[in-house]
A and B are shown apart, each in its own frame.
Chain A
Amino acid sequence: MTTFTLHFWLNNQPESVEIPLTATLLDVLRDELHMTGTKRGCGIGECGACTVLLNGQAVNSCTVLALQAQGQKVETVEGLAKGEELSSLQQSFIEEHAVQCGFCTSGMLMSATGLLRQNPHPSEKEIRTAISGNLCRCTGYMPIIKAIEKESKR
């Protein structure tokens, strides 16, 4: 098995890890680094549970080769809170009851974070579009949309 050493920034910390050439970014996060906040729901880029930010852009980490992250900045759900203190987006998710089983939550948070960084005051339609690649089977999306809307108005 051909391997290589991946150097990248993970939640603002330098990280190096020896991995197979064919590994996806999701494989690296979950299986090598045991950063399990990022979830695997489908493995083919359809559910969004594995969403992370790559240089600030929301991507499905199951369809990104780890190689593409060489020297780049990756942000995951584990990087959102500062210690015990939740980010205000996470707080909005609590206030709007946007979490049920929670399996989609990490991906939703990362898609929303990516959106709000580029477009701090999105319309409802823009919010829906930004999370349209994130499936949620529990909430019917309405509370999630409201939470992101709330955050954009803070």
Chain B
Amino acid sequence: MFQEIPRVDVKAKLTGRAKYADDLQFPNMIYAAMVRSTIAHGDVLSIDATKALSQDDVLGILTWKDIPGLSNKGKERPVLVESRVRFIGDGIAMVVAKSQKAAREAAKLVEIRYQPLAAVFDVKESMKKTAGWIHGRSNVETIISMQHGHVEDGFEEADVIYEESVSTQRVQHAAIEPESAVAVYQEDHMEVYCPPKSPFNVRRVVAETLDVSVNKVRLISAVVGGSFGGKDYDMSLLASRVALVAKRYQKPCKMTYTREESIMEGTKRHPYQIDYKIGAKKDGTLTGLSVQMVSDAGAYLSKSAMVAWRSCVESGGPYRIPHVKTDISVVYTNQIYSDSLRGFGSPQVDFGLEVVMDGLAERLQMDPLALRLKNALQDGDVHATGQVLSGVSIEKCLLALKDKSDYEQTRKRIASFNRDHASGPYRLGFGIAALHRGEALGAGGEGIDTAGVYVHIEKDGSVIIYSGLSEVGQGCQTMMVRIVSEILGIHSSRIRVTTLDTDYVPDSGPTVASRGTVIAGNATVLAAEELKTKITEVLSQKKWFKKNAELVFQNETITLRHNPEVSVSYQDAIKMVFSQGENLYGHGWWSAPKLVWDWKKGQGDAYFNYVYGACGCEVKVNIETGKTDIVRFVAVHDVGTALNIEEVYGQICGGVAMGIGYGLTEEVQLREGKIINDNFDTYLMPTAMDIGEIEPVILQEHSAIGPLGAKGLGEPVTSIVAPAITNAISDALQSRIVDLPADLERVLAHVKKGDAR
């Protein structure tokens, strides 16, 4: 067991000293506020800022004409639109003032005249469009497929065929910190302070906007108040916007979005419509699966194709299915764009398939857990991508769930409660769900999956870690401290992680897909190993060191493995290295194993590893009000070797809470492209009263590829919460819920359906 390490940044956060972007102050700072599109589709004809500019403290207005470099790229969101607006919220201009208040007030006074165009809000309608496209010459951006075996053969072999259409809704990150950025003009470069999920993308976009090379932009990370997929490209835009103002006025400039703006422009999860057809033998053996999906990308491309690819690859779930055919269409609409949001295409297909598995189990008159166990992937099985799997732990997860949830007893207890209380307002229900999830970016990832970490040992033996991956609240920094402390055998209090600064670390890609643990973790391992080698080289010149002897680094001491009597303290060893004129500079660069995906065939080695999980949920449904209470939530996840077990608990609880919101209450509601629930009074997220008892169950099946055997977490947890909840509600009401969220109205509708049965 590892020693406990408190989060490295925890003290500053507890005392209010941690600096988030909006907390930063610079002398002579000015402020900007956005003027945004109020129509969903059209062209800007004119911008009248006369009234705005006559206000006290207002300094000016900037439009795309003030952008020296690129204002937008292809189908990507513009920094400021040139003329075409594609959703309500597109940025048109910025008002600059001496105070935030003055900037925001004046922005409201800017008058925009538009030439409106026909807008489309429904994906199916959008697909049919023969003119007036949002981008290019079709509203269908791409269709991605996976094909394994011959699905028609699979259906022929089946005794039972079950078909179902499901849908998932649009939700958002809703990190409690609204987006904020500060740009500070320097003579030879632009300094940007912001909470970035993908710091190097932010730097690149700022450089492209200002038309300078990337070394002229320096991004220093502020403390990140939650990401969950947000603060990625949206942060690139915000940073570019403040940088433009800072350059123009040669003064520091800050812009912070209001919650309403954050909701208007912040990252959303793609809504999906999915048609399933699944075949099975009488004994439950799955024979074939067809999955037809449409994803609503909204108005811009962002990472929609990558997200769709993951959905495609994972659409067969953690099950052995000989014949699978999946297609997903990515479609534009004139609404807020969708992007990567905690789960990155997994939650939609995990919801769909797990609901369908329950439907199939019912049709087969089989227990839902038994059906999953019967088809659970095993080592050596062929995945729907054609890849032969190893390190598969889904069966272990399902069995742990059975045990920890007291599965059979729970089902019995619930059935008898419902029988005994048939005339009362409450129904109990129990539901389960399972998943597999590809680690890191995979073969469909943008660019290569790499990260760099530097580790320095100073002359006094203290250590500094420089990492290219952001700390977005997931404990990435703590994990790196853990790794260095284990490998060098030193106390964690010797180690500090610096704030991310793009001037000093190599481009390490985005902090997405829970890749921090594996990618940055492995880079940290390499850097620490390099230091170990350097120390070993110097010690090997000592008389007591026999040729090829092995050293053990432990408890601040370096010992000969075969003769533990011979040892030197870590501190002395460091002194020796420096006295020899050597350096203790460790550099780790880790690239994920090469992966190949054949886009034509829809087969390939999609991910270098999958993680597995299973969960169970007990609900209490009030059939008069439609309100669902989560009584108990058991979440089983194989996290590999847990680098910090308490942190893992916290991450699982957080992931479950977000999933409860997805399952029960959260939905970004749009009317004609306008978001109508634009603050937390109407966008309802779970509070401490809504989460019931969350019971994380942590399995530690050593990973062959992760640092010290660890696996990525964060996203897998969220992905299977909603289906476990809706399966539980369906169990309680005896009517299958196939659409999200299961809010009061939807539940009441199913109360009626269930009664009718």
Which of A's residues lie within 8 Å of B, judged by CB? 30-31, 34-44, 46-47, 49, 76-78, 80-81, 86, 90, 93-94, 96-106, 109, 127-129, 131-145
The 6 closest A-B pairs by CB, nearest first: A37-B16, A140-B653, A101-B473, A102-B13, A103-B225, A36-B23
Judging by beta carbons under 8 Å apart, are B688 and A90 in contact?
Answer: no
Judging by beta carbons under 8 Å apart, are A103 and B175 in contact?
Answer: yes
Judging by beta carbons under 8 Å apart, are B178 and A141 in contact?
Answer: no
Give the residues from 10 to 25 in chain B that come closer than 8 angstroms, CB to CB, to chain A: 10-20, 22-23, 25
Q: How far is the CA of A99 from the CA of B649 in the complex (A)?
A: 12
Known A-B contacts A103-B177, A105-B14; A128 and B689 likewise in contact (beta carbons under 8 Å): yes
Q: How far is the CA of A106 from the CA of B423 in the complex (A)?
A: 46
Interfacial chain B residues near A140, Cβ < 8 Å:
650, 652-658, 691, 694
Not counting A100-B7, A137-B176, A138-B473, a sample of 4 additional A-B residue pairs whose C-beta atoms are within 8 angstroms of each other reads: A40-B22, A43-B679, A77-B14, A138-B650
Interfacial chain A residues near B652, Cβ < 8 Å:
140
Is B122 close to A, CB under 8 A? no
Interfacial chain A residues near B656, Cβ < 8 Å:
140
Judging by beta carbons under 8 Å apart, are A137 and B685 in contact?
Answer: yes
Residue of A nearest to B13 (CB): A102
Complex interface bits, B227-247 against A, C-beta within 8 A gives 1, otherwise 0 = 110000000000000000000
Residue of A nearest to B474 (CB): A100
Residue of A nearest to B656 (CB): A140
Q: How far is the CB of B1 from chain A (nearest CB, A)?
A: 16
Is B324 close to A, CB under 8 A? no
Judging by beta carbons under 8 Å apart, are B681 and A132 in contact?
Answer: no
Residue of A nearest to B7 (CB): A99
Number of A-B contacts (CB under 8 A): 173
Judging by beta carbons under 8 Å apart, are A36 and B19 in contact?
Answer: yes
Known A-B contacts A137-B685, A139-B650; A101 and B16 likewise in contact (beta carbons under 8 Å): no
22 A–B contacts, CB within 8 A, in A order: A36-B19, A36-B20, A42-B259, A42-B680, A44-B680, A46-B679, A76-B16, A93-B14, A97-B647, A97-B649, A100-B474, A102-B9, A103-B175, A103-B226, A127-B688, A133-B687, A135-B176, A136-B654, A137-B175, A141-B653, A142-B694, A143-B650
Contact partner of B20 among A39, A128, A144, CB < 8 A? A39
Interfacial chain B residues near A133, Cβ < 8 Å:
687
Judging by beta carbons under 8 Å apart, are A81 and B15 in contact?
Answer: yes
Interfacial chain B residues near A30, Cβ < 8 Å:
23
Complex interface bits, B401-416 against A, C-beta within 8 A gives 1, otherwise 0 = 0000000000000000
Is B361 close to A, CB under 8 A? no
Residue of A nearest to B56 (CB): A1
Judging by beta carbons under 8 Å apart, are B688 and A101 in contact?
Answer: no
Is B716 close to A, CB under 8 A? no
Q: How far is the CB of A25 from chain B (nearest CB, A)?
A: 15
Contact partner of B653 among A36, A37, A38, A143, CB < 8 A? A143
Q: How far is the CA of A90 from the CA of B10 in the complex (A)?
A: 10
Give the residues from 671 to 698 in chain B that come closer than 8 angstroms, CB to CB, to chain A: 679-681, 685, 687-689, 691, 694
User: Which of B10, B16, B173: most chain A CB closer than 10 A?
Assistant: B16
Judging by beta carbons under 8 Å apart, are A99 and B657 in contact?
Answer: no
Judging by beta carbons under 8 Å apart, are B681 and A102 in contact?
Answer: no
Is B291 close to A, CB under 8 A? no
Contact partner of B691 among A40, A43, A105, A142, CB < 8 A? A142
Judging by beta carbons under 8 Å apart, are A132 and B688 in contact?
Answer: yes
Judging by beta carbons under 8 Å apart, are B14 and A41 in contact?
Answer: no
Is B341 close to A, CB under 8 A? no
Is B6 close to A, CB under 8 A? yes
Is B224 close to A, CB under 8 A? yes
Interfacial chain B residues near A135, Cβ < 8 Å:
176, 680, 685, 687
Q: Kindly state the interface size class of chain B when it binds its partner.
A: 35 or more
Q: How far is the CA of A34 from the CA of B29 in the complex (A)?
A: 14
Q: How far is the CA of A62 from the CA of B177 in the complex (A)?
A: 15
Residue of B nearest to A141 (CB): B688
Interfacial chain A residues near B556, Cβ < 8 Å:
none
Residue of B nearest to A87 (CB): B14
Q: How far is the CA of A35 from the CA of B19 in the complex (A)?
A: 11
Interfacial chain A residues near B224, Cβ < 8 Å:
101
Interfacial chain A residues near B650, Cβ < 8 Å:
97-98, 100, 138-140, 142-143
Give the residues from 163 to 195 in chain B that come closer than 8 angstroms, CB to CB, to chain A: 173-178
Q: How far is the CA of A132 from the CA of B594 in the complex (A)?
A: 47
Complex interface bits, B1-44 against A, C-beta within 8 A gives 1, otherwise 0 = 00000110111111111111011010000000000000000000
Contact partner of A39 among B15, B100, B176, CB < 8 A? B176
Interfacial chain A residues near B475, Cβ < 8 Å:
100
Judging by beta carbons under 8 Å apart, are A78 and B16 in contact?
Answer: yes
Interfacial chain B residues near A139, Cβ < 8 Å:
650, 653-654, 657
Is B258 close to A, CB under 8 A? yes
Judging by beta carbons under 8 Å apart, are A77 and B176 in contact?
Answer: no
Judging by beta carbons under 8 Å apart, are A77 and B10 in contact?
Answer: no
Interfacial chain A residues near B687, Cβ < 8 Å:
131-135, 141
Judging by beta carbons under 8 Å apart, are B15 and A78 in contact?
Answer: yes
Q: How far is the CB of B561 from chain A (nearest CB, A)?
A: 35
Interfacial chain B residues near A35, Cβ < 8 Å:
16
Q: How far is the CA of A96 from the CA of B13 in the complex (A)?
A: 15
Is B748 close to A, CB under 8 A? no
Interfacial chain B residues near A34, Cβ < 8 Å:
25
Q: How far is the CB of A99 from chain B (nearest CB, A)?
A: 5
Q: How far is the CB of B583 from chain A (nearest CB, A)?
A: 34
Judging by beta carbons under 8 Å apart, are A103 and B176 in contact?
Answer: yes
Judging by beta carbons under 8 Å apart, are A143 and B649 in contact?
Answer: yes
Judging by beta carbons under 8 Å apart, are A42 and B679 in contact?
Answer: yes
Known A-B contacts A36-B23, A137-B654; A132 and B689 likewise in contact (beta carbons under 8 Å): yes
Q: How far is the CA of A101 from the CA of B559 in the complex (A)?
A: 39
Q: How far is the CB of B257 from chain A (nearest CB, A)?
A: 11
Q: How far is the CB of A117 from chain B (nearest CB, A)?
A: 18
Judging by beta carbons under 8 Å apart, are B23 and A94 in contact?
Answer: no
Residue of B nearest to A136 (CB): B176
Is B156 close to A, CB under 8 A? no
Contact partner of A102 among B178, B473, B658, B691, CB < 8 A? B473
Is B472 close to A, CB under 8 A? yes
Residue of B nearest to A148 (CB): B688
Q: How far is the CB of A108 from chain B (nearest CB, A)?
A: 10
Interfacial chain B residues near A138, Cβ < 8 Å:
226, 473, 650, 654
Q: How far is the CB of A66 from chain B (nearest CB, A)?
A: 14
Interfacial chain B residues near A136, Cβ < 8 Å:
176, 654, 657
Q: How far is the CA of A77 from the CA of B691 in the complex (A)?
A: 26
Complex interface bits, B627-644 against A, C-beta within 8 A gives 1, otherwise 0 = 000000000000000000
Give the residues from 501 to 558 in chain B that come closer than 8 angstroms, CB to CB, to chain A: none
Q: How far is the CA of A27 from the CA of B6 in the complex (A)?
A: 33
Interfacial chain B residues near A40, Cβ < 8 Å:
22, 178
Interfacial chain B residues near A46, Cβ < 8 Å:
679-681
Is B646 close to A, CB under 8 A? yes
Q: How far is the CA of A53 from the CA of B343 in the complex (A)?
A: 37
Q: How far is the CA of A94 from the CA of B176 in the complex (A)?
A: 20
Q: How far is the CB of A131 from chain B (nearest CB, A)?
A: 5
Judging by beta carbons under 8 Å apart, are B14 and A86 in contact?
Answer: yes
Q: How far is the CB of A107 from chain B (nearest CB, A)?
A: 9
Judging by beta carbons under 8 Å apart, are A94 and B10 in contact?
Answer: yes
User: Which of B15, B649, B658, B679: most chain A CB closer than 10 A?
Assistant: B15
Contact partner of B16 among A41, A94, A106, CB < 8 A? A106
Interfacial chain B residues near A36, Cβ < 8 Å:
16, 19-20, 22-23
Q: How far is the CA of A139 from the CA of B12 in the complex (A)?
A: 18
Q: How far is the CB of A48 from chain B (nearest CB, A)?
A: 9
Q: How far is the CA of A97 from the CA of B258 in the complex (A)?
A: 29
Contact partner of A37 among B15, B225, B685, CB < 8 A? B15
